[in-house]
Chains A and B, each alone.
Chain A
Amino acid sequence: MAEPDERWVRWLAGERGTPEAADLACVLAADRAQAEACAADAATDGELRILLAAEHDTDGFTRAIAARLAAERDGSRFLRSVRSRLRDEPRRRRASSARLAPIRRRLGVPAPWAALLAASVLLVVGGGWLLYQPRTVVIGEVLALRGPVTITGGGSARPALAGAVLALGERVVTADGERDGAAVVTVALGDGVRCDLAAGSTLELVGRDAVRLITGRFYAQVEHRASASAPRWRVLTGAAELTITGTRFEIEASATVTTLRLEEGSISIANRQGMRQVPALHQCRVVADVAPPEPHAITLEDIWRARTSPVRAAPAPPPSSPSPAAPVMPPGLRLWLDAAEGVIVVDGQVSAWRDRQGGRIQAVQPIARQRPLLVPDAHAGSPALRFDGAQTFMMLDATDIFDDLVQTTVVVRARCPAALESDKMHELFGADSGHTQHSFDFGVRRRNVELWAWSGSGPKPSHRPRCYVAHPEVWHQYAYRADARGHMFFIDHRAVAPVYAQGAPDRPFSFAHAAGGTTRYSIGTSVDSEGNRYAGDIAEVMVFDRALSDDEIADLAARAVSRP
């Protein structure tokens, strides 16, 4: 048998870069004897790897089998109940028909005509539903589970079953348990990703190639992507972002601490303070506002021991339904941040500000020194977030707030005592496309409330309407409305036609064009400029997917004043 190629020896030792693999594959494809030698070596390598390592991994593997057996058993029960219902169906149909007969007789409609009528109604209603139903992007599937596991999203929650599909934006929540085995779920995501979520965990599907571990722990197996250009899989946590190539690893996260234990491959772990490359069989523990430290070596045994330990106490998942006390708001509300609800405070500073509607969106600030303060009694007995004009701001964790909009209304309740001190823009709400093509900056500058919309094309692409506000240092509701008629501002309940620092009323303005492609949204800063940091208080931010009427905006202003 031929001597294995030196490149094969390196490949088997773990150096499996794409160019080297392609090069080696060509050698093996051309030389049968070489391929046989390498296959024989690979067989021994595989046997040794499993035979020796499996001594440690017995329990993990056996637990996986136990979980799948339990899932199959639950699935069988479900199938039995479906079969039983199907068996009973003819009897129930006959009973139902007997109940409906007197009604049919009273209406004088014979049964076949009733059926035809019902079918027509179903066709119209069903067709309409199919046309106008919200688009659901399926990006995962529940493979197996044990214990109470819930899928939440879109303001609803459903129990998970094996085979259930998972859509973009949904969360998988495993019930708290004293041990891993109490409630566990295995989910398949995208191409070659499997996650075993431990008890007491919440995992959010934020994209085809990304998940957010809100709290808890999971063990993941990620295959190498076939193409080097394929996007790498990412895990987001409160403290860091991890970029992953083909690997196996375990990650545990709370709101401010993330611990990575890497079994195979390599993972880049980063936050705003720095980045680390973590090699195989190393552990790295990252705290939210601190640069990732030097990883330290661990053994496979350490990883397996961690997998069998209970998840540390985790905070309860966020509510998925609106607060029962939530007032009725005008329709089309796409974002609603209210300082009176959904504010997460750490040491008096706001780390997260959740959409009051219970949706998926929240504003976050993982770095302690950049968090705004929560002022409990700022306006009419209600709280507000206080921004310092230098460091503090929040970023929204959604990328699609302006998507598909051709008109909008942005409403912010705020006061800005520092507005008169300089010509600086104090930004209330910002949006940016990430490549300077489109931006949308709404804020206060001296005695003006101003919008600066940059739409990236044409000889004079910038629109900069503004309107006068006599006292920016006191509380106001500022509203900006864009529709086919152009720009309009509202100070409290009053509509105020804009003047133009740049652009003019006769120059065409398309909100869809200006906001098109924006993917990053901020509160208290513009996305791409630290010079626009807001100094003052913000109590409420709302974004609507339509142009509100003058009356609706006036009603919102009245509601703000009459708040308890």
Chain B
Amino acid sequence: MIGVGTSVDDEPLIRAARGGDEEAFCALVREHQGVVRAFIARYACDRTMIDDIAQEAFLAAYRDLPRYDGRAPFRTWLLGIARHRALTWVRDEGRRRSREPLSVEAVLLTVQPPAGEDLAIADQRLGALRTCVEQLPGHSADLINAHYRDGHDATHLADRSGRSEGSVRMALMRVRRLLRDCVERRLEQAHG
């Protein structure tokens, strides 16, 4: 289980990693990679790119560890680096895409990414999303887990459930919308 919304005592690992202990740093990566990658997924659609940006962010964090002062939670600090890397990628990608034929990704990149979002809120939002997934009613949770966790596509899910592919796709979209609304509600409650 990834550590979304959990409190982890990172201090000993950070101290060891600062001293050049790569194993300790890998333990930090293992703990925080899920949230960092999910955060970057708001900027990039392609999973290869998401992983590339996330790797760059972790490597940058490793190099910058001596400058981490511990005032903000470690994960928030990591998300700051990830956001910087993601925005750099968005800028470069935008330039590259402007020279290429129109594509869906290129158009989505023109829609303003959540650049100004507070990192603590981003962390809370991902934690809220995880909680909202856990609170989904049975059939919706099954659908989301089968598609996103187990990797089954709409065709496979349609075959398995006896529904049409179109209805499976629309059901997935409706659950995504439910989750988005659920996350918004939880964040509003958290901030009064």
Name A's B-contacting residues (CB within 8 A): 4, 9-14, 16, 21-22, 24-26, 28-29, 32, 35-36, 38-56, 58-59, 61-62, 64-66, 68-70, 72-73, 194, 221, 223, 226-227, 248, 263-264, 280-281, 299-300
A46, B176: Cβ atoms closer than 8 Å:
no
Say yes or no for B81: interface residue by CB 8 A criterion: no
B101, A35: Cβ atoms closer than 8 Å:
no
Residues of B within 8 A of A10 (CB): 169
Answer whether A36 and B111 are a contact pair too, CB < 8 Å, given A21-B104, A49-B41, A61-B33: yes
Name B's A-contacting residues (CB within 8 A): 1-2, 4, 22, 25-26, 29-30, 33-35, 37-42, 44-48, 50-51, 54-55, 58-59, 62, 100-104, 106-108, 110-111, 114, 126, 129-130, 133, 144-145, 148-154, 165, 168-170, 172-173, 176-177, 179-180
Residues of A within 8 A of B34 (CB): 50-51, 54-55, 58
Residues of A within 8 A of B46 (CB): 223
> How far apart sit A50 and B130, CA to CA, in the bound complex (Å)?
11
A50, B180: Cβ atoms closer than 8 Å:
no
> How far apart sit A226 and B106, CA to CA, in the bound complex (Å)?
12
Task: Please give me the residue from chain B that is nearest to A28 by CB atom.
Answer: B107
Residues of B within 8 A of A45 (CB): 176
A51, B154: Cβ atoms closer than 8 Å:
no
Task: Please give me the residue from chain A that is nearest to B114 by CB atom.
Answer: A43
Residues of B within 8 A of A56 (CB): 149
Task: Please give me the residue from chain B that is nearest to A227 by CB atom.
Answer: B101
A299, B151: Cβ atoms closer than 8 Å:
yes
Q: Which of A29, A42, A47 contacts B38 (CB 8 A)?
A: A47
Shortest CB–CB separation between residue B124 and chain A, in angstroms?
Answer: 13
Residues of B within 8 A of A281 (CB): 151-152
Chain B interface main SS type:
helix
B148, A28: Cβ atoms closer than 8 Å:
no
B179, A48: Cβ atoms closer than 8 Å:
yes
The 7 closest A-B pairs by CB, nearest first: A46-B41, A54-B34, A52-B149, A39-B111, A28-B107, A52-B148, A50-B38
A11, B45: Cβ atoms closer than 8 Å:
no
Shortest CB–CB separation between residue A342 and chain B, in angstroms?
Answer: 39
Q: Which of B54, B145, B149, B180 contacts A40 (CB 8 A)?
A: B180
Residues of A within 8 A of B177 (CB): 41, 44
A61, B54: Cβ atoms closer than 8 Å:
yes
Q: Which of B44, B58, B149 contacts A53 (CB 8 A)?
A: B149
B47, A49: Cβ atoms closer than 8 Å:
yes
Answer whether A68 and B173 are a contact pair too, CB < 8 Å, given A13-B153, A52-B133, A53-B151: no
> How far apart sit A35 and B133, CA to CA, in the bound complex (Å)?
25
Residues of A within 8 A of B101 (CB): 22, 226-227
Q: A55-B1, A248-B48 are in contact. List 9 more A-B contacts (CB 8 A).
A: A11-B104, A12-B173, A29-B107, A47-B129, A48-B129, A51-B126, A52-B133, A65-B55, A227-B101
A280, B22: Cβ atoms closer than 8 Å:
no
Answer whether A50 and B50 are a contact pair too, CB < 8 Å, given A45-B176, A62-B30: yes
B153, A280: Cβ atoms closer than 8 Å:
yes
Residues of A within 8 A of B106 (CB): 25
Residues of B within 8 A of A29 (CB): 102, 107, 110
> How far apart sit A223 and B145, CA to CA, in the bound complex (Å)?
26
Residues of A within 8 A of B25 (CB): 65, 69
Shortest CB–CB separation between residue A380 and chain B, in angstroms?
Answer: 58
Shortest CB–CB separation between residue B111 and chain A, in angstroms?
Answer: 4
B173, A221: Cβ atoms closer than 8 Å:
no
B37, A70: Cβ atoms closer than 8 Å:
no
> How far apart sit A56 and B13, CA to CA, in the bound complex (Å)?
22
Shortest CB–CB separation between residue B45 and chain A, in angstroms?
Answer: 6
Q: Which of A22, A42, A65 contacts B58 (CB 8 A)?
A: A65
B148, A48: Cβ atoms closer than 8 Å:
yes
> How far apart sit A217 and B151, CA to CA, in the bound complex (Å)?
23
Shortest CB–CB separation between residue A253 and chain B, in angstroms?
Answer: 23
Shortest CB–CB separation between residue B14 and chain A, in angstroms?
Answer: 15
Answer whether A25 and B59 are a contact pair too, CB < 8 Å, given A43-B41, A66-B22: no
B45, A65: Cβ atoms closer than 8 Å:
no
Answer whether A66 and B26 are a contact pair too, CB < 8 Å, given A72-B59, A248-B48: yes
> How far apart sit A23 and B62, CA to CA, in the bound complex (Å)?
43
A9, B173: Cβ atoms closer than 8 Å:
yes
> How far apart sit A4 and B172, CA to CA, in the bound complex (Å)?
12
B51, A61: Cβ atoms closer than 8 Å:
yes
B176, A44: Cβ atoms closer than 8 Å:
yes
A54, B126: Cβ atoms closer than 8 Å:
no
Residues of B within 8 A of A263 (CB): 151
A46, B103: Cβ atoms closer than 8 Å:
no
Answer whether A44 and B151 are a contact pair too, CB < 8 Å, given A25-B104, A69-B59: no
B38, A299: Cβ atoms closer than 8 Å:
no
B55, A64: Cβ atoms closer than 8 Å:
yes
> How far apart sit A511 and B151, CA to CA, in the bound complex (Å)?
57
Could you list 23 A-B pairs, sorted by A, with CB under 8 Å? A9-B169, A9-B173, A12-B173, A13-B153, A13-B154, A39-B108, A39-B111, A41-B176, A42-B108, A44-B129, A46-B41, A46-B50, A47-B38, A47-B42, A48-B148, A49-B47, A51-B129, A52-B144, A52-B145, A65-B26, A65-B29, A248-B48, A300-B150
Q: Which of A38, A41, A53, A226 contacts B148 (CB 8 A)?
A: A53
